[in-house]
Amino acid sequence: MRKILVPTDFSKNAFNALEYACQVFKYEKSEIFIMHAYADEVYQKDRVMKRSFLDELKEVTGLNAEKKLNKVLKEVKQLYPNPNHKYNSIAAFGSLIDEVNDLVNQENMDIVVMATRGETNDRSITFGSNTLQVLKYTNSPVLAIPEGFKYHTPKEVLFPTNYLVPYKKRELKLLCDMSGSFRSNIHMLYIDPVKKLSLRQEDNQELLRNCLPKANLIFETTHEMDKTIAITKYIVHNDINMLILVNSRHSYLEDMLYQSTIDKIGLHIKIPFLVMQNLFR
């Protein structure tokens, strides 16, 4: 059974991400965990609160979170009454990244699905601070859904790669199952001014062929020097509706996420963004 974690701050964006999860995994038996971490809500009142009121505030905030989670559960079950799906709700007193990582490890989650931005919804940025933390540091694949993105099948998927990252077979299996459900075309984009692959790159390319048998793989090469420009152009010119990057040292994702923020180099993501983690659990 697929295990899916969907963090929520009860915003419209967060519910949109939950809806996407329900639809993109509609053909798979799935257990969906809807989680709200509320430590920040308690501690943001720290300067005006006495220690004696802390426990009371934690209890009240937790009960309020549980009520809102029950409302979300009721709504999503009405909208997507799928017999393949089982739902759980969790109100957790902790930081978002800690609670996400704990649940990923405890439940052996397959994927985290969340909005690119939460309740604050600063439109001058692509990813909110919480989403960036989860993208960078969680040990599970993360699928980030942009504000207002209306679901349609991920038929055209872009997977930029240098064929040097040692991909995890479990995460490739996740991608294989997702693409197989929709008979997706996965565009493997090699961004390098030198076209010829090394023997190691050729072997990794063959691994991708073997691990993604359910998808139609399209191997492309671009000589564009700037990775961000190359990815952006390919998304626009090929009607891409999902972008996949791998979180690893010397990867395209690292190039983008670790140069302050992705926004400073001009890649404003308007399609679902799947980050596969080249990290050990």
pLDDT tens per residue, range 197-228: 889 999 999 999 999 999 999 999 988 888 88
All structural domains of the chain, each given as residue ranges with its CATH number in brackets, are 2-145 (3.40.50.620), 156-268 (3.40.50.620)
171 neighbors 206 (Cβ within 8 angstroms):
no
* pLDDT score at 137: 81
3-state DSSP helix/strand/coil % of the chain, to nearest 5: 40, 20, 35
Question: Does pLDDT of 248 surpass 90?
Answer: no
H or E element that contains 35: strand 30-37
Q: Work out the pLDDT band at 56, boundaries 50, 70, 90.
A: confident
Mean pLDDT across 26-55: 83
Question: Does pLDDT of 130 surpass 90?
Answer: no
Single-letter code of the amino acid located at 209: R
The residues that bridge with 185 in the sheet, in sequence order, are 156, 216
Interstrand relation of 142-145 and 273-277 (parallel, antiparallel or unpaired):
antiparallel
Q: How far apart are CA 187 and CA 199, in angstroms?
A: 21
145 neighbors 117 (Cβ within 8 angstroms):
no
Q: pTM for the whole thing?
A: 0.88
